[in-house]
């Protein structure tokens, strides 16, 4: 915990002020392009969700200054904060956006953020509001927000998540604020006031996991980060050291920072490079993916048909079982947090993508029947191994009496130790946008994202994913 005075707000502000394109490591740029392409697909897929359509309709009704494109509404434009709310929610609507990595064995996975969507969303809408922002300028702002967001998340005590806060909603606000502030050129007191407002705006609690409000946390983080930066540019004030001290963000919401980590500083090593970021193969919580891959391996290796399954017992620790909390999923949002639904999906469909995560699919007889054959158990032996890795074991019994066992690979596909290839990231984009963008448009977006730092106008990123919904 923090036992000595810290100056995290000042460090964050100086980093945002000083970072330039030439400061970005080559690997950070390469990973950043992958993260941006991944998010482009998620924005398009999310804009087709009923929850996001409601936000689009709400933004249309509110109207206002035409700052930035409203995702899923063709070429319609709305004020930057509103555009950020909708775009950010779309980016997290499927819970398919990338995840921060940590090597701290005490760092519960849920504490880590979905780091790309808040700062990228803020950068995209702010760039459109300003105009004439280059792709390099957008990349710098995105990387600044990504780094600030991840370091705050890494340094905070895990109690933040244990208390019930949703880090992507809370800490994501700082990432969005940093990105917007960088593009607006805030410095000195203005920048510190923007971070102070972000500290008060940050919100999101875990009781809303499995509902429409969970992705709205990320939309609000993007919206609030942009709002904080815009208000600070007008001269609105806040505490200039709001991350620090007895009443600061970290102390109030997490019990403080970890002293031993504070010497890392911002940007000395970029988090996007080390320990890295994972691009998710499935639209569900990242701590379910190893088990989903294990289930898929078990049924494909042994050629087990759904009608052959008598029962499945899933053994895991509380690090999986506590947040993945729905025993039986009754809609696609609950399915993202239901081990029974996720394992059933791999048995019934042998895949888990946008088309499998629909209410119709989850409520189908085959999925409901399979879920009810799955039992989830807390395993004391696995629990005793600790939470540094995600561990689980699946035992499947067939009607003819066979018992098949599969342990999950402790590495996870998409993470730094088993990353998706560039082609796999592009294929994920195509899967996300299948039926929403034609093949030519898909090719255009992939090429634009991969050449983002060569763009004369970063607004092209937003224009190339414009759809009418």
* Domain range enclosing 313: 286-407
Confidence of residue 334 (pLDDT cuts 50, 70, 90): very high
- The pLDDT of residue 3 is 52
What is the spatial distance between Cα 90 and Cα 42, in angstroms, rounded to a whole number? 7
- The pLDDT of residue 409 is 82
pTM assigned to the model: 0.91
Asked if residue 131 belongs to a domain, the reply is yes
Which of 214-218, 269-273, 323-327, 400-404 is predicted with the least confidence, judged by mean pLDDT? Answer: 323-327
Same-domain status, 64 and 156: yes
Mean pLDDT of 22-48: 98
Same-domain status, 270 and 349: no
Exposure class string for 171-191: b at 16+ Cβ within 10 A, else e: bbbbbbbbbbbbbbebeeebb
Asked if residue 263 belongs to a domain, the reply is yes
> What is the percent of the chain with per-residue pLDDT over 70, rounded to a whole number?
98
Mean pLDDT of 378-387: 91
Same-domain status, 34 and 90: yes
Mean pLDDT of 192-198: 98
Question: By CB neighbour count within 10 A (0-12 exposed, 13-18 middle, 19+ buried), where does 35 fall?
Answer: buried
Same-domain status, 167 and 292: no
- The pLDDT of residue 189 is 98
> What is the percent of the chain with per-residue pLDDT over 90, rounded to a whole number?
88
Same-domain status, 165 and 31: yes
Structural domain total, the chain: 2
Residue 365 maps to which CATH number? 3.30.1330.120
Please say if the pLDDT value at position 263 is more than 70: yes
Mean pLDDT of 147-169: 94
Half-sphere exposure of 340 (CA within 13 A, CB side): 23
Element (H, E) at 267: none
Same-domain status, 202 and 349: no
Asked if residue 468 belongs to a domain, the reply is no
């Amino acid at each position: 915990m923090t036992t000595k005075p810290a100056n995290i707000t000042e460090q964050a502000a100086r980093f945002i002020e000083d970072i330039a394109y030439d400061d970005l490591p080559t690997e950070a740029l390469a990973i950043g392009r992958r993260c941006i392409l991944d998010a482009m697909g998620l924005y398009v897929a999310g804009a087709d969700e009923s929850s996001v359509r409601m936000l689009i309709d709400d933004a249309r009704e509110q109207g206002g200054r035409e700052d930035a494109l409203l995702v899923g509404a063709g070429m319609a434009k709305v004020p930057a904060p509103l555009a950020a709310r909708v775009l950010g929610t779309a980016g997290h609507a499927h819970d398919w956006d990338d995840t921060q990595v940590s090597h701290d064995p005490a760092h519960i996975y849920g504490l880590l953020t979905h780091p790309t969507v808040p700062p990228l969303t803020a950068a995209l809408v702010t760039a459109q509001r300003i105009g004439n922002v280059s792709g390099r300028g957008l990349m710098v702002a995105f990387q600044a927000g990504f780094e600030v967001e991840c370091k705050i998340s890494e340094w905070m005590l895990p109690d933040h998540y244990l208390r019930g806060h949703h880090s992507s909603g809370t800490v994501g606000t700082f990432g969005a604020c940093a990105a917007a502030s960088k593009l607006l050129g805030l410095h000195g007191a203005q920048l510190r006031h923007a971070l102070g407002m972000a500290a008060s705006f940050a919100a999101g609690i875990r009781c809303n996991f499995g509902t429409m409000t969970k992705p709205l946390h990320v939309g609000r983080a993007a919206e609030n980060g942009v709002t904080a930066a815009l208000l600070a540019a007008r001269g609105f004030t806040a505490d200039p050291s709001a991350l620090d001290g007895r009443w600061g963000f970290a102390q109030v919401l997490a019990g403080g920072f970890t002293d031993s980590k504070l010497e890392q500083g911002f940007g000395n090593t970029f988090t996007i490079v080390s320990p890295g970021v994972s691009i998710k193969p499935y639209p569900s919580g990242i701590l379910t993916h190893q088990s989903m891959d294990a289930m898929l391996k078990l049924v494909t290796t042994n050629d087990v048909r759904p009608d052959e399954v008598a029962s499945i017992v899933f053994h895991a620790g509380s690090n999986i079982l506590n947040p993945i909390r729905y025993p039986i999923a009754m809609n696609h949002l609950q399915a993202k947090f239901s081990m029974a639904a996720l394992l059933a999906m791999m048995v019934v469909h042998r895949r888990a993508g946008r088309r499998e995560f629909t209410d119709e699919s989850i409520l189908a007889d085959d999925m409901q029947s399979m879920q009810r054959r799955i039992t989830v158990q807390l395993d004391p032996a696995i629990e005793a191994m600790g939470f540094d890795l995600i561990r689980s074991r699946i035992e499947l019994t067939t009607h003819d009496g066979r018992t098949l066992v599969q342990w999950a690979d402790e590495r996870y596909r998409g993470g730094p130790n088993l990353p998706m290839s560039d082609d796999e990231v592009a294929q994920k984009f195509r899967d996300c946008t299948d039926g929403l963008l034609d093949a030519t448009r898909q090719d255009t977006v992939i090429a634009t994202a991969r050449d983002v730092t060569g763009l004369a106008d970063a607004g092209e990123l937003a224009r190339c994913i414009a759809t009418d919904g």
